[in-house]
């Protein structure tokens, strides 16, 4: 009987090692919640204070030097930076508590697969923004971020795949409603992040 | 009952070796330091277990330079994959058999 317990703990050790070395599970649920809050605050600021004007159609060209436009872009960049810093900080803390590092082989894999669609989409968005095609910003950022999460989900919580899917769907739908771009953006980057973060926290990290 | 012993490999009796095989079976490759961090063992300990698995042709390594520092990447071989899969199956069967007694 004692021998049998050894076999069971062998199998358990194998499973744990496979998961630990192939998935980055220190990704903090709170980081998702915080990123969502930043996005909601950002969307609110853009709408209320920065003088964000929703583009009438997808092909409406705005003046890229106009202040409302520049402010909105600056807010989006700030949201992105704060979200990345918060995620890095909170994940570092989680990893440290488990005696691990956030710079391990699975986190590097995750970032590599995540960053490729993200950088491609980011560059495309910047190119279009420089030409004043502001209505493309919300759909493209949602779509490419969704793709990058879908990719990243292979190397972390598999639930990230569903968040990726939802963002892709939101991105595609927002092409049909260019006036509602900011709303779609707030739902995708704000609300969905918060729901996902709370779910991961409750399920794995309490 | 005697039949159930088939498939076990002596090389996998040790927990560290089992850990190395588990980690390499789900990763294309892992370097020495990554393995050391995951397994939480000393350099010397890890090196001797890696050597033992290498001798069985279950893993192979490639020396490379990463940012001008020497680095050894370890890969699982086909023979290693087969032996490990057989070992895991044998473990599972034994547990099943014990449960159904």
φ, ψ for residue B58, nearest 5 deg: -90, -25
Residue B65, CB-side half-sphere exposure with 13 Å CA sphere:
3
Whether B1 has its CB under 8 Å from any CB of chain A: the answer is no
DSSP run (H or E) holding A67: helix A67-97
**Cβ separation B18–A10 shorter than 8 A:** yes
**Cβ separation A7–B30 shorter than 8 A:** no
**Cβ separation B37–A14 shorter than 8 A:** no
**Cβ separation A4–B95 shorter than 8 A:** yes
> Looking at residues A171-190, what average pLDDT do you find?
95
Give the residues across from B74 on adjacent strands: B30, B61
Which tokens go with A48? 């209320």
- For residues A126 and A130, give the distance between their C-alpha atoms in angstroms, rounded to a whole number: 6
Name chain B contacts of A11, Cβ cutoff 8 Å.
Answer: 88, 91-92, 95
Chain A interface, mutation test: which of B9, B28, B37, most A Cβ atoms within 10 Å? Answer: B37
A54-58, A188-192, B31-35: which range is least confident on average? A54-58
Residues 15-34 of B with CB under 8 A from A: 15, 18-19, 22-23, 25-27, 30-31, 34
Q: How far is A111 from chain B (nearest CA, A)?
A: 16
Give the three-class secondary structure for A37.
Answer: helix
Question: How does pLDDT run across A11-62, given as a tens digit for each residue?
Answer: 999 999 999 899 999 999 999 999 999 999 999 999 988 777 788 898 999 8
Name chain B contacts of A13, Cβ cutoff 8 Å.
Answer: 15, 18-19, 22
Q: Which position has the higher pLDDT, A99 or A147?
A: A147
Question: How does pLDDT run across B65-94, given as a tens digit for each residue?
Answer: 888 888 999 999 999 999 999 999 999 988
Measuring CA to CA, how many Å separate A138 from each of A12, A65, A175, A176, A181? Answer: 45, 19, 8, 11, 5
**Cβ separation B98–A17 shorter than 8 A:** no
Average model confidence (pLDDT) across chain A: 92
ipTM: 0.86
Domains of chain B, earliest start first? 3-100 (1.10.10.10)
On the question of pLDDT at A104 being above 90, the answer is no
Among B19, B25, B94, beta carbon nearest to A7: B94
> Looking at residues A119-125, what average pLDDT do you find?
97
DSSP H helical ranges for B1-77: 15-25, 32-39, 43-55
Residue A152 near residue A195, CB atoms below 8 Å: no
Measuring CA to CA, how many Å separate A67 from each of A49, A50, A62, A63, B36? Answer: 11, 8, 11, 9, 53
Whether B59 has its CB under 8 Å from any CB of chain A: the answer is no
Question: How does pLDDT run across B36-51, given as a tens digit for each residue?
Answer: 989 999 999 999 999 9
Predicted local confidence at residue A51, as pLDDT: 73
Residues 96-135 of A with CB under 8 A from B: 99-101, 104-105
- For residues B92 and B87, give the distance between their C-alpha atoms in angstroms, rounded to a whole number: 9
């Amino acid at each position: 009987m004692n021998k049998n317990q050894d076999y069971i703990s062998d199998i358990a050790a194998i499973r744990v090692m496979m998961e630990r070395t192939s998935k980055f599970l220190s990704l903090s649920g709170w980081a998702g919640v915080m990123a969502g809050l930043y996005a909601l605050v950002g969307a609110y600021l853009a709408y209320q204070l920065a003088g964000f004007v929703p583009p009438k159609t997808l092909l409406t060209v705005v003046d890229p030097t106009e202040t409302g436009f520049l402010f909105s872009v600056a807010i989006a960049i700030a949201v992105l930076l704060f979200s990345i810093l918060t995620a890095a900080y909170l994940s570092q803390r989680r990893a440290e508590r488990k005696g691990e590092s956030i710079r391990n082989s699975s986190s590097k894999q995750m970032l590599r697969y995540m960053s490729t669609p993200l950088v491609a989409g980011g560059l495309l968005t910047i190119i279009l923004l420089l030409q004043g095609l502001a209505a493309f910003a919300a759909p493209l950022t949602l779509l490419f971020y969704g793709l990058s999460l879908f990719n990243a989900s292979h190397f972390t919580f598999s639930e990230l795949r569903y968040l990726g899917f939802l963002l892709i769907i939101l991105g595609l739908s927002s092409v049909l409603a260019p006036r509602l771009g900011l709303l779609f953006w707030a739902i995708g980057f704000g609300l969905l992040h918060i729901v996902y973060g709370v779910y991961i926290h409750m399920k794995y990290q309490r | 009952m005697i039949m159930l012993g088939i498939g076990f490999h002596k090389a996998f009796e040790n927990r560290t070796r089992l850990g190395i095989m588990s980690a390499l079976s789900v990763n294309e490759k892992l370097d020495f330091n990554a393995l050391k961090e995951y397994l939480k063992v000393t350099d010397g300990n890890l090196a001797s277990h890696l050597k033992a698995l290498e001798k069985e042709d279950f893993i192979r390594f490639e020396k490379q330079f990463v940012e001008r520092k020497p680095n050894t990447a370890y890969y699982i071989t086909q023979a290693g994959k087969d032996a490990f899969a057989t070992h895991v199956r044998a473990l599972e069967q034994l547990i099943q058999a014990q449960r159904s007694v």
